[in-house]
Amino acid sequence: MSSKLGDVLIEDTFAEAFPMYATRILITAINAKWALVAARAATGLGTSVIACPGEAGIEKLISSKLTPDQRPGAAIHIYHNDPATLKFVTLTRIGQCVLTAATAAAFNGLPKVKRKMYIGKSLAKFGDGFEREDTIDGRKIWRIPVMEGEFIIEDSFGLVKGVAGGNILILAKSRDAGLTAAEKAVKAIRRYGRYVVTPFPGGIVRSGSKVGSLKYPKLRATTNHPYCPVLKNIVKDTRIPEGVESVYEIVINGLRKEDVLMAMGLAIKAAASVPGVVKIDAGNYGGRLGPYHLRLNEALESVKSIDVKV
């Protein structure tokens, strides 16, 4: 049964998420600015596997007190459908975007995970025989000579089966109200969430998709027409209530199901606090896309003790 959070209707539905293999990388640098520069470059073109080389996003900044080399850092996630492709995508992203970034180094962000990808050992060959093994903070690393000095990369990176595609849909009376609510939702996830990323630009999706196409059979995904306000008087299966003129989606990937569910709850609380938001919904395809059915009411229950302030 649908419920209300203040004046906002919370649909009795679920976000349909699916498993993806994931890795977590800790990028450090001389300061937070350059850690973030490298992290942003390494997670570019990573919104959706529909057409991107993996999905990727920035989890959070990391204090120098918590990094292997005692330098400021940023944690990023990379996701893909299979381990072999994830290894290739991770190797490419680190090699092209972290190795090349001023002062940056790359460490395993999942040190307790048993399953590993040997990224550092492969990338060390860039050193053309001048690379050398070493240890930092008990971790096996490679020192690769570069023009600036040395690039340091850990030998191996942890691999887990994560959860991708958690989401909420924010239905609002106007674009401004919807965008404000979406921005607050992302801020709440980044402030209170754990081990999750929001891979789309600014964490927000303006162009949610559905599986397949009504008109073009070869397309994997097309516009989610039931949630397009400009089509509400045209299509029979519209999901747009009276008075709604704009819809934004927040997509969440995480290392564990409970982390994604919590992030959804945080996003709902934050978005529902914005005047002009009419309803919170979620994207699903009747169970055809993925096995994880993350219900909105359960997401809210998971964060009931958190006073979300953004």
Per-residue pLDDT of the chain (310 residues; tens, 9 = 90+): 789 999 999 999 999 999 999 999 999 999 999 999 999 999 999 999 999 999 999 999 999 999 999 999 999 999 999 999 999 999 999 999 999 999 999 999 999 999 999 999 999 999 999 999 999 999 999 999 999 999 999 999 999 999 999 999 999 999 999 999 999 999 999 999 999 999 999 999 999 999 899 999 999 999 999 999 999 999 999 999 999 999 999 999 999 999 999 999 999 999 999 999 999 999 998 777 789 999 999 999 999 999 999 9
The CATH number given to 21-160 is: 3.30.70.520
Do the domains at 3-16+163-302 and 21-160 have one common CATH topology? yes
If you write DSSP's letter for every residue of 143-181 in order, what string do you get? EEE-SSSEEEEES-EE-EEEEEEEEEEEEESSHHHHHHH
pLDDT reported for residue 37: 98
pLDDT at residue 48, as a whole number: 97
The ranges assigned to domains in the chain are 3-16+163-302, 21-160
Nearest to 77 by CA among 39, 33, 122: 39
Helix axes 257-272, 175-192, angle to 10 degrees: 140
- pLDDT for res 289: 78
- At 288 the pLDDT is 75
| CA-angle at 84, arms to 83 and 87, nearest 5° | 85
Are residues 41 and 194 in contact, defined by beta-carbon separation less than 8 angstroms? no
Classify domain 3-16+163-302 by CATH number: 3.30.70.520
Give the residue among 213, 214, 245 at the shortest CA–CA distance from 232. Answer: 245
- Residue 310 contacts residue 192 (beta carbons within 8 Å): no
| Single pTM value for the model | 0.96
Write down the pLDDT at residue 84.
97
Separation in Å, CA 276 to CA 224, 253, 305: 22, 27, 25
State the Cα–Cα distance between residues 89 and 78, nearest whole angstrom.
Answer: 8
